[in-house]
Amino acid sequence: MKYSFAALAVLLGCTLMPAQMPTPGSGPLTRHYREGETLTYHMTGVNDAWHYTAEATGTVKKTANGVYIEEFRWTGMTSNGQPYTLTPEMAQFVEPLSLDPNWAPSMPDLSKVDSKMVGPITDLMTFYLDLWIMNKIGILQHAGDHFYVPNPQTSSWADGTRVLVGKDHIDFDLNLQSIDQAKQTATVVVHHVPPANPNLQFPAEWMQAPVANTPNNWVEVTKTKEGKYEAAAGKETFDVTITVSTADGRVLSASMDNPVVTSGRECEDAALTKCGAAKPQTIHRHIEVALEH
């Protein structure tokens, strides 16, 4: 099973010029928070042959410095149609997310979470952070507005135990696709695309050869139960579509299509020099979330 995490790379607010910012709270995507509000999202996911569902409930809180956040707790999961019991550590895990432009995103500690929950946790964060960028820059006001954000950072989903290296480098192509005044909704589309020159360090030289029609922008090394190493590099893209309430800025629903075209090898050593033949693979993930009423 592969996981991908590109969203944290949006910690680039400092690269956005203040002159680009309109009056706060003036846009159709602006989130109007109410302290104590609760939101529950139902997620469905397909990760190659693995099908799953997950539930997350968030409560709106106001921090000491006046920033609104939503503290999410993951409360249930099914795996390939069967109920799945989350590890006890998940009861203590809280995932803070926010659409407040004054929020400073940070990566949650994934080292102690249930391994099956890494994907849902980071995917929900992807949806929120994509919309957070659009609120942060604040210049997408009308249907058809578009903004391209070069990303200066790589993102990591390595947990240090099973996933030893897990990184990608992705730019953001932001689009306010449509606004439905009657339904009070807006549809945004975010294309996550490879930069012209991805800023990735590859553990082995053979991983640098382009797998697709762009330089590789994705790399992963995992340790198997048998003590071997599975290593791969390739091209990753995301297409994210989010339906937003223009009344209060809540995420009503969202979907993500995430193909990764890779070439990988099984290796006997951590240096990835004693490896078998290269094997091409396309990893495909499709994720959907919907706000429960």
DSSP 228-290: -EEEEEEEE-EEEEEEEETTT--EEEEEEEEEEEEEEEEESSTTS-SB---EEEEEEEEEEEE
For the chain, the domain total comes to 1
Residue 234 included in any domain: yes
279 phi and psi angles, rounded to 5 deg: -125, 115
What's the pLDDT tens digit per position in 219-240? 999 999 999 999 999 999 999 9
Q: What residue numbers bound the domain in which 169 lies?
A: 29-291
Residue 1 included in any domain: no
What pLDDT is attached to residue 205? 95
Residue 13 in 3-state DSSP?
Answer: helix
Q: Measured between alpha carbons, how far is residue 198 from residues 47, 167, 189, 220, 272 in Å?
A: 25, 11, 22, 15, 21
Residue 100 included in any domain: yes
- Maximum pairwise Cα distance, the chain: 61
What pLDDT is attached to residue 10? 41
Residue 21 included in any domain: no
Residue 168 included in any domain: yes
Contact present, 211 and 264 (Cβ < 8 Å): no
What pLDDT is attached to residue 152? 87
Residue 111 included in any domain: yes
Residue 8 included in any domain: no
Q: Which residues of the chain have pLDDT under 70?
A: 1-26
CA 43 to chain centre: 13
What pLDDT is attached to residue 158? 85
Instruction: Name the E strands within 17-162.
Output: 38-47, 50-62, 68-79, 82-83, 95-97, 146-149, 155-156
CA distance 73 to 43: 13
What pLDDT is attached to residue 156? 85
Q: Which residue has the tokens 């042959």?
A: 49
What pLDDT is attached to residue 228? 96
What's the pLDDT tens digit per position in 9-62? 344 444 444 434 445 556 899 999 999 999 999 999 999 899 999 999 999 999
Residue 221 in 3-state DSSP?
Answer: strand
What pLDDT is attached to residue 5? 37
What pLDDT is attached to residue 241? 98
Residue 9 included in any domain: no
CA distance 138 to 122: 24
